[in-house]
Amino acid sequence: MNETKKILKATIDNKNRLKKTRAVLLILLILLVFKLFVLQFVQGEDLSRQASAQQTDTRTLEPTRGIIYDANGKLLAISADVDTVSVNPKIIKYSDDTEVDKEFLAQSFSEIFGLDYTELLEKLNSANSYVTIASKVESDKIDALKKWMDDNKIYSGINIDSAVKRYYPYNTLASHVIGFTGTDHNGLVGLENSLDDILAGTPGQVVTLTDSVNSEIPNQQKSYIEPKNGSNVYLTIDVNIQSIAEKYLSQAVIDNQADSGTVIIIEPDTGNILAMCNYPDYNLNTPFEPTDSTILETWDALSAQEQNDYLYSMWNNTAVQSTYEPGSVFKIITAAVGLEENIVSPNDTSSFICEGYETINGTNIFCWRTGRPHGYQSLKQALANSCNPAFIQLGLKIGAPTLYKYYDAFGLLSSTNSDFYGESSSVFHNQNNLTDVDLAAMSFGQGITVTPLQLITAVSAIANEGVLMHPRIIDKIANPDTGAITTPEPVEVRQVVSEQTASELLEMLDYVVSDGTGKHADVTGYSIGGKSGTSETLTSADNTYVASFIGLSPTVNTQVVVLVALYNPKGDSFQGGEIAGPVVAQIFSEILPHLGVTSSATDSNSSGYKTTALSDLNGKTIKEAKQLLKSAGFTVHIPDNVDENEIVTNQMPKTGVTLFEGADVFLYTENSNVATSVTVPNFKGKTLEQCINMAQEADLNIVAEGSGLVVSQDVLSNTQIEAGSVINLTLKSALEGGY
């Protein structure tokens, strides 16, 4: 009986458990159906996207940034493949699985990459599993690293990751014009920024299907969008002319203790900018390193804002981003308006009278030559004399409405809309609030500010028969993928003044250089026109000046216009004619022959000193060469312990140069070809006789052009150069004034 009850109870328990199991299964089934419903109809679209994302690999294909060339095809900016080297210090081992000594690693890396041993050792001893050793590494150093790894049988723990680096072959050349890129390869400043849309290109993309372990599934269709590489840009800048401009600008800033300086060289009939530079400059390959040694010493102590402010000022392209008072250079514009409006003629000597000052509403505005006023003058004479009272009288006769109409026509009231980064515009008085004193000052370039680019563009219109051209920096654009070439044509903006007015003014500017205050810009054999300017800085309370000069050549069918500005010179003079004029002359003396402009000079030596051309002595014995040199009147220098029967393999100076009697000639043989370095003296302000003696004492030679006192030398004083080298000197007669 008890057994029967047990069986019956077990049966009932089994039925109850079965019911519970069925109930649980039913609930699970309902939940499963509900979940399937949610997955299919509620979350289906989103889950489908997630699954697709997990099963696909999307990679961006970076385009190659376009190359920047000069007008002759010389590389100014290029993108090169570079690598980043990193290590995991914990797993760097030899092939036999033994650990590599950290000191050995640090020493090896420091030798390969030129890095500090102590800093490297500190990195390698850190607890980090990823340490960057060197970034943007060139291929030759990567090759050296790979060879070192093979030689030492080290195959793990060292990573080489490919990258792209923007490289500037000329370092500082045209730095303010070209600019540079950031770590994302986008242009930050300069043309790298303003032409970024042209240079950058468009990224591509490749999409592939992957399996559960993220490996690409073979034999499946890929989605591929090809990248479009950036276009190559050819600038109008000529590296040779740019180098000449930078050489003489840096020398002028240093010699005259100026804060900075600017040069622009433009082709007036096309608007092509052949050179544009500022000094101090900076290295495009290391743009975040201060160039000022004083700033560099305290750099780490500066706040982030102070560091940023300094860097932005270092990168600033003063030629287009900053304005200044043009001073008497602006008299060119006032004269052009007076001629065009028939208010004045070039040669009427009763046009103006200078009494040393002009009184406007009780305010005396002085001429630079107050003690000996110019008296009655024509416009031609007033421009050559740079007489303020004469141009005040002319400005008042013209009147503000007419002047402003021409300022606008010359492009002086708005930016030039060039392709340059961060271009600024002028600051003129509001015409409605203009006083007679404002008008008087404005007529000779004071109380207003313009950018150097605006000013040279306006003056270039006069050099181009009165036609204003849009400044042009892009010569052509080349698509590397299609080979297509786009050439932006020169753009005529408008006819500002007549061809007759332009011709009359060019003749007057020629007279300014030949007989007026612009004599320091004269170059033997070439017709040079120009105008100096000396202005007080508008915002300064401590008498700082801008010395400037605009020159153009030839004065008929003008080929080139040059602007030089020196900011806050603190040397012996601050007058534009005296310190900026010679820089223009130096630049013209080199770029005019380069441009194929023919010189009319036949003999530049009018000093009375005997000169002789140096012949080629290579291949002769020392004895023969000595005899030839002594008979020509030269002083011979030969290294010690040289046999007279040895053959001359080198000489300094080189053959062909014409030297003064007694000049120093250095001879070298194959066994004694080590040149001696000497220090260049400061010839400025000296007579030719003094310079000849100074050169002989310094074991150097000179070639002199002109007469009077030296106003410029083509190699900076205190520079170390090879003994026997030739220094080119420019001499000018003493001038009074120079404004």
What pLDDT score was predicted for residue 361?
A: 92
Q: By three-state DSSP, how is residue 545 classified?
A: strand
What pLDDT score was predicted for residue 30?
A: 80
Q: Which two tokens stand for residue 108?
A: 């090896």
pLDDT tens column, 272-293: 999 999 999 999 999 999 998 8
Q: Which two tokens stand for residue 111?
A: 């030798």
pLDDT of residue 215 exceeding 50? no
Lowest mean pLDDT among 67-76, 552-561, 654-663: 654-663
CATH 3.40.50.300 fits 61-183+219-235, yes or no: no
Highest averaged pLDDT of the listed ranges 46-50, 220-224, 373-377? 373-377
Highest averaged pLDDT of the listed ranges 129-133, 298-302, 464-468, 630-634? 464-468
What pLDDT score was predicted for residue 213?
A: 42
pTM for the full model?
A: 0.77
pLDDT of residue 362 exceeding 70? yes
What share of residues in the chain are helix, strand, coil (percent, to 5)?
35, 25, 40
CA-CA distance, 721 to 2, in Å (whole number)? 126
Would you kindly state where each structural domain of the chain is located, as residue ranges?
Answer: 2-55, 61-183+219-235, 611-732
Which of residues 372 and 452 earns the better pLDDT score?
Answer: 452
What pLDDT score was predicted for residue 58?
A: 62
What pLDDT score was predicted for residue 8?
A: 60
Q: Which two tokens stand for residue 250?
A: 């840096």
Which of residues 333 and 212 earns the better pLDDT score?
Answer: 333
133 φ/ψ angles, rounded to the nearest 5 degrees? -90, -50
Angle of the 499-515 helix axis to the 331-340 helix axis, nearest 10:
140
CA distances from 85 to 81, 82, 137, 506, 691 (A): 13, 10, 8, 61, 56
pLDDT tens column, 435-477: 999 999 999 999 999 999 999 999 999 999 999 999 999 999 9
Number of Cβ atoms within 10 Å of the Cβ of 662: 15
Q: What percent of the chain has pLDDT over 90?
A: 55
pLDDT of residue 723 exceeding 60? yes
Fold entry, domain 611-732: Trypsin Inhibitor V; Chain A (3.30.10)
Please check whether residue 190 is in contact with residue 103, taking contact to mean a CB–CB distance below 8 angstroms. Answer: no
Read off the pLDDT band of 1 (50, 70, 90): low
pLDDT of residue 669 exceeding 60? yes
- Quickly list DSSP for 90-158: TT-EETTSPBPPHHHHHHHHHHHHT--HHHHHHHHTSS-S-EEEEEEE-HHHHHHHHHHHHHHTEEESE
pLDDT of residue 337 exceeding 90? yes
Read off the pLDDT band of 719 (50, 70, 90): confident
Angle of the 436-443 helix axis to the 400-409 helix axis, nearest 10:
40
In degrees, to the nearest 5, what angle opens at C-alpha 355 toward C-alphas 354 and 359? 95
Stretch 563-567: mean pLDDT: 97
pLDDT of residue 22 exceeding 80? no
